[in-house]
Amino acid sequence: MAKVMIVDNVAPEAAQILEQEGHEVRTEAGKLDTPDLIAACAGCQGLIVRSATKVTAEFMAARPELSVVGRAGVGVDNIDIDAASEHGILVVNAPTGNTIAAAEHTLALMFALARHIPQAMDTLCQGRWERKRFLGVELAGKTLGVLGLGRVGSAVAQRAEALGMRVLAYDPYISPEQVAVPNIKLTSFNDVVRQADFITLHLPLTDETRGIISKQALAQMKPGVRLINAARGALVDEAALADALKSGQVAGAALDVFAEEPCTNSPLLGLDNVVMTPHLGASTKEAQVHVAVEVAKQVADALAGRRPKHCLNWERALQQGAAVGM
């Protein structure tokens, strides 16, 4: 049986599943930098991380005994998949476990943005009663633009429709026949940004999507649009968004993710028409258990020589002699 290292405070259910499979599990709380990760993973065939620890090419070159890296969550931009494939290391994730949590947090941000909830609470806590200052807008009857119609985007769209919103969506990888939610119009990126009153991002971070909310895209949007991002921070040009918020082109933004995390130096900090949370999209008790269980099962499958359901590089890694089946 194999040795598996778990870092980044993954829920204990992951270790329990792997131990039931007969594997030896080690754990390290919190984020590890590359030198510490190399040392911690000596002799390990498996590694499970969340989003904080970076799994780099340097790390994988130093740990040739590694067979599989699991991400307890959906986004894998903290894992060098190309390097993993070159070293015959499988990369698996848990794409379904935090869907509801992320969708509900997106809606929470949308409501907070529409009704100025954080700002109103802040003034009340300061002893000021300023009802007239915080005139909000209703969601019913507004057009929501959903950029990315995967699991989370679809869950948000379904809930937004129930709120009486008209939903437009852009996703280059989905055909109209594949849209899971009725009454959603699948259209172009330009159509979405030009027509939407609210825009919510649910795209993966790739070379094509990095900075997709650019100065040019912001200029195309309706004056007074509101933007929500609970996907990946680097989808948005933060400097351009700050300028659009100051000019009024964008009435408000609600952000759970940032180009650099922890976020301490963004041009968006301190703007009074911005709602911010520290990457809480998957931070529910239920979601943490779901992703821990899901990724542990993927890692267990890989170590047993079975093809994991959510493996991102199976063919490429096997071409390099992936060492599955401990």
Q: Which residues are catalytic?
A: 232, 261, 279
Q: Can you tell me the distance from the alpha carbon of 223 to that of 202, in angstroms, rounded to the nearest whole number?
A: 22
Angle among Cα 200, 214, 163 to the nearest 5 degrees reads 15
DSSP 270: T
In sequence order, which residues have a C-beta less than 8 Å from that of residue 277 and are 6 or more positions away?
Answer: 105, 109, 255, 256
Give burial (CB, 10 Å; 0-12/13-18/19+) of 95: buried
In sequence order, which residues have a C-beta less than 8 Å from that of residue 173 and are 6 or more positions away?
Answer: none
Q: Can you tell me the distance from the alpha carbon of 301 to that of 232, in angstroms, rounded to the nearest whole number?
A: 28
Residue type, 215: K
SS3 state at 87: coil
